[in-house]
Amino acid sequence: MAQQGKSEISVGYGFYSWYSLQNHVNGYDYTTSSGTLLINYKYYVSNNFTLGVGIGYENISTDGSYFAVTPEFTYTYLDTKNDRIRLKLYGGASVGIASYNDNNYNANPYYNTTPYATHYDNSGLQFTGNATLLGMRIGRKLGFFAELGFGYKGLINGGLSYRFRTRKSNSMHHMEK
């Protein structure tokens, strides 16, 4: 059965995002991160190519919170759709915008009004993205996914996804005529 015309929604959780790694380099512990909560939507343009949007949220208590929205694509390079257990391997990328809320600035307004204040409010919009080097999905309609990559989703992320038909296939359309 062709994938074209199907959609997929997924929810997941990521570890060691670009933001938490940056904080670690600056001397803060990883445990200050909430991890990244993820929601994705993908539309199958063809059997191997998807277009969609990813949403992610992470709070780092020693830094701030990030809310990312990114258009993304994936390309499937292995699909065992005829096997009993379906396995898909894919890669992808996304580039978008993150809204950053600076926790440190808002946490101590007195410190930031003194003449010796060194931390300025860095809240605002910034570019963000993610590169998925290796993605894996196991399942047909309902599946489990895991990804290795770099960016706002984390070095490692995974979760559940559900695939469903969003339009009739061409073969069914011809049968109705």
- Here the contacts of 144-147 (C-beta below 8 Å, separation 24 or greater) are 145/10, 145/12
Give the tokens for residue 155.
């070095």
Q: What amino acid is encoded at 106 in this protein?
A: N
Asked whether the beta carbons of 82 and 140 are under 8 A apart, the reply is no
- Check residue 122 and give its pLDDT: 78
Q: Does 80 map to a domain? A: yes
Asked whether the beta carbons of 92 and 132 are under 8 A apart, the reply is yes
Q: Does 1 map to a domain? A: no
Residues 6+ apart with CB under 8 A from 45: 4, 51
Q: Does 17 map to a domain? A: yes
- Check residue 176 and give its pLDDT: 43
Q: How many structural domains is the chain composed of?
A: 1
Q: Does 61 map to a domain? A: yes
Q: Does 171 map to a domain? A: yes
Average pLDDT per consecutive 10 residues, the chain (177 residues; last block may be shorter): 82 94 72 90 96 96 91 97 95 97 62 54 90 97 97 97 80 46
23 vs 32: CA distance, rounded Å: 9
Range of the domain at 157: 6-176
- Check residue 20 and give its pLDDT: 87
**What pairing do the DSSP bridges indicate for beta strands 156-165 and 49-60?**
unpaired
- Check residue 177 and give its pLDDT: 41
- Check residue 121 and give its pLDDT: 72
Backbone angles phi, psi at 58, to 5 degrees: -140, 140
Q: What is the CATH number of the domain that holds 168?
A: 2.40.160.20
